[in-house]
Structure 1
Amino acid sequence: MISTNPPEAATSVWGTELLDLPAYLDRIGRPAPAAPTAETLRLLHRAHVEAVPFENIDVFLGRELRLDPAGLQAKMRPGRGGYCYEQNLLFGAVLERLGHRVERQLARVRIGADRVRPRTHAMLVVHADGGRWLADVGFGAEGLLEPLPLVGGATVTVGARTWDLTHHDGDWVLRAVRPDGPVDLYTFREERHHPADFQMANHYTATSSRSPFLGALVAQRSGPRVRHTLRDLRLTEATPDGTAERDIAPGELAGVLRETFGIVPDAEDERAIIARLAAAPA
C-alpha cells in the first residue's frame, strides 16, 4: 500500500508535500491505491472528473488564484471546483505523492480557433507501466474522461465519446472524434516548464480581456454519454442524440449549479455572481 504520509523534504519545486492526500482521496471517493500503475491512473482520473466540477467562479468574480497544492485543495473542497491550472496542478501533485513521475505541460487550445493561440491550457504527461500517458482532468469542453497513451495514433473510448492523439514534427494534437470527423482540441510540444510558467499563463487566462473565462460564468460536468455546460444563464445538455439548450432565470442559478454541476457557492458568492451577470452587457 502506498503511504499517504507526506515526504520528509520540507519543500519542493511544485510544493507536492503540501497536499493532504487522505483528504483528496476522500474528496474523489477512492481508497489509497496499492501501486502507481496505469490502472491506478485511469481510476483516479475518472474519479476526479466525476467528483470535481469544472468552473471559473473565482476568475469570473475577479479573485486571485493560488496554485500551490494546499491552496488548490482548500479551494476545491466539496461543492467547488476549478479550471485547468487548478485541476491539473492539484492532480499532478496527487500523482507524484502516489509515486508517479509527472511532467506538467502547457498547450495551445485549437477548438474554435482561426489563429495560433498562446499556451493557455495546462495538462499532464504521466509515467506509468513503462509508458507515458496524457492526463487532463481540467480541459472542460470535450476534454478527456480517462488518460490516453502518449503514442501517435492512440485512441480511447469512454461510453459514447472517443478521443485520439496525433504526432507530427514534434507537435502532439488531442482530438475529439465526432460522428462527422475528428476536431482538434489542443496541441502541445513537450518542454520543461517551471511554476513561474504556469503562474504567467494563469495570470493571462484569469485577467486578459481576451480570455473566455473572464467575461462569462462557466461550469461543466461531463460523463460518458452526457455533458452539461453552463455559460452565464444558458444551460446546454449534449448527448449522442443531440444538443438541448435553455435559458435559466437568475433565481434558478443556485439550484442548477448545485443539482447539475455539484457546485455550491456560499450566499455571498451567489449574490456576487448574480450581480456580475446583471451588470454584464446584453
Structure 2
Amino acid sequence: MTWDIEKLDLDAYLARIGHDGARAPSAATLRAVHRAHVTSIPFENLDVVLGRGVPIDLESLQDKLVRRRRGGYCHEHNLLFAAALERLGFRVTRHLARIRLGGRFHLARTHATLTVEPEEGGRWLADVGFGGEGLVEPLPFRDGATARLGEWAWRLGRDGDFWELRAGDTALYAFREEEPQYPSDFEVANHYVATSPRSPFTRHVLAQRTTPDARIRIEDVMREDAGAVATAPGLVAVLRDRFGIELPERDAAELLPRLATAP
C-alpha cells in the first residue's frame, strides 16, 4: 500500500464537503476544509458491523466516502483528508495514536491522526475522523493550545514524551510525533480495528453526524424514537435524513438485529 494521492479526484472531494472557497495551502484554507469535512461526512462503522471489512487504499476511500456518500471511521476519514491536503499543497504527516478513554492507558496505536504545515509556516493538529468529541477545526500544534466552539473545548499538551489531545476534562488520545508511520502500519492498525472481537467497532453500531452546534448519534435517535429504526425502510430513512448516510435497504435489514447493541 502507498498513499497514491495522485488518484484522488480533488474536485469531487471538495464538492462532497461543500468547499468552494480558496485552495491555497494556508492556515485559513486548512480550517475551512477541516470544518467542512467534519460537518459533511459522517462518522460510522456500518461496513465493519456488516462483516465487510474496511479497505483503506485511496480508490476505495473516495468510492465510499465521496462517490457513494457514506461515512467512515478514523483511518478512512483521515487518510482521505491527508490526500486532499497534500493535493492542495500542504505538507502532511500521518500518525498513529493511542486512545486514552479518559485515562493514561497505553492502548494499542490504532487511531489515525495528522499534523499539517501550511504555506505560511507553523504546524497544526488536524483530525476529521475521531467521532465522539473530536475536533471540528484544527488546533495549533503547540503545548497548551486550546480551542472552543460553543460548549465544546479542546486542549493539546505534552504528557511526558507524548502529545495528548483532551476534550474538556477527558483525554482522547496521545501520540509521539517523532515516531514514523508507514502505509503498512496503518494497514495493521486498521485490520485490528475492523476485525478484532476486542475492537469496539466490531461490537457496536456507531453513527454520528456533527453540525456546528450539535452531535447527532444513532443511540440518541434510538432513545428518542426506537420505532423510527424498527424496520429496514425506517432505518434507511433515518440514516439518510439524520446522518447523511446513503445505505441500501438490504444492508439496513442486516443491521437491524445489531442495533440493540448500540452503546
Q: Give TM-score, length-normalised by structure 1.
A: 0.85
Q: Amino acid of the residue matched to residue 13 of structure 1? A: T
For residue 4 of structure 1, what is the aligned residue in structure 2?
none
- Pick aligned residue for 2:196 from 194, 198, 208: 208
- 1:114 to 1:96, Cα distance in 2 relative to 1, 3 A: closer
* Aligned position for 2:145: 154
Q: Are 1:139 and 2:130 matched, yes or no?
A: yes
In structure 1, C-alpha distance between the alignment counterparts of 2:105 and 2:55, rounded to whole Å: 30
The one-letter code matched in structure 2 to 1:195 is P
Pick aligned residue for 1:66 from 55, 62, 68: 55
Percent identity, aligned pairs only? 51
Q: Does residue 242 of structure 2 align to residue 260 of structure 1?
A: yes
Shift of residue 113 of structure 1?
5.2
Counterpart Cα distance in 2 of 1:197 and 1:69? 15
Alignment partner of 1:163: what SS?
strand
* 8 Å Cα contact 2:154/2:165 also seen in 1: yes
Q: Secondary structure at the match of 2:220?
A: strand
- The 2-side partners of 1:86 and 1:112 are apart by 24
* Distance of 2:96 and 2:236 partners within structure 1: 33
Letter in 2 for 1:193: Q
For the residues of structure 1 that align with 2:166 and 2:211, how far apart are their CA atoms? 17
Which residues of 2 match residues 70-109 of structure 1 at below 5 A? 70-77=59-66, 79-109=69-99
Check whether the contact 1:84–1:138 (CA below 8 A) recurs between aligned residues. yes
Residue in structure 1 matched with residue 112 of structure 2 by the alignment: 122
- Residue 247 of structure 1 deviates from its aligned partner by 5.4
Residue 170 of structure 2 is aligned to residue 183 of structure 1 = yes
Q: TM-score, normalised by structure 2?
A: 0.91
Letter aligned with residue 75 of structure 2? Y
Structure 1 residue matching 2:241: 3-state secondary structure: helix
Query: Where does residue 172 of structure 1 map in the other structure?
Result: 163
* Among 34, 41, 49, the residue aligned to 1:52: 41
| 1:71 to 1:32, Cα distance in 2 relative to 1, 3 A | farther
> Within 2, Cα distance between the matches of 1:175 and 1:99?
29
Secondary structure at the residue paired with 1:70?
Answer: helix
- What's the counterpart of residue 39 of structure 1? 28
C-alpha distance 275-36 of structure 1, shift in aligned 2 (>3 A): same
Per-residue CA deviations over 1:215-256 (Å, capped at 9, x if unaligned) read: 1110011233211112xxx3269xxxxxxx435232242222
Number of corresponding residues: 256
Unaligned runs of 5+ in 1: 1-11, 238-244
Look up the equivalent residue of 1:160 and give its one-letter code. E
Contact persistence 1:25–1:32 (CA under 8 A): no
Looking at structure 2, the residues matched to 25 and 227 of structure 1 have their Cα atoms a distance apart, in angstroms, of 22
Residue type of the alignment partner of 1:225 = D
Change (3 A) 1:34 1:208: closer
Q: Tell me if 1:24 matches 2:13.
A: yes
Which position in structure 2 is the counterpart of 1:195? 183
Bigger mean CA offset, 247-256 vs 115-124: 247-256
Q: CA RMSD in A?
A: 2.2
Query: What amino acid is the match of 2:220?
Result: L
Aligned AA (2:28): E
Which 4+ stretches in 1 moved above 4 angstroms? 275-278
Decide whether the 8 Å contact of 2:204 with 2:258 is kept in 1.
no
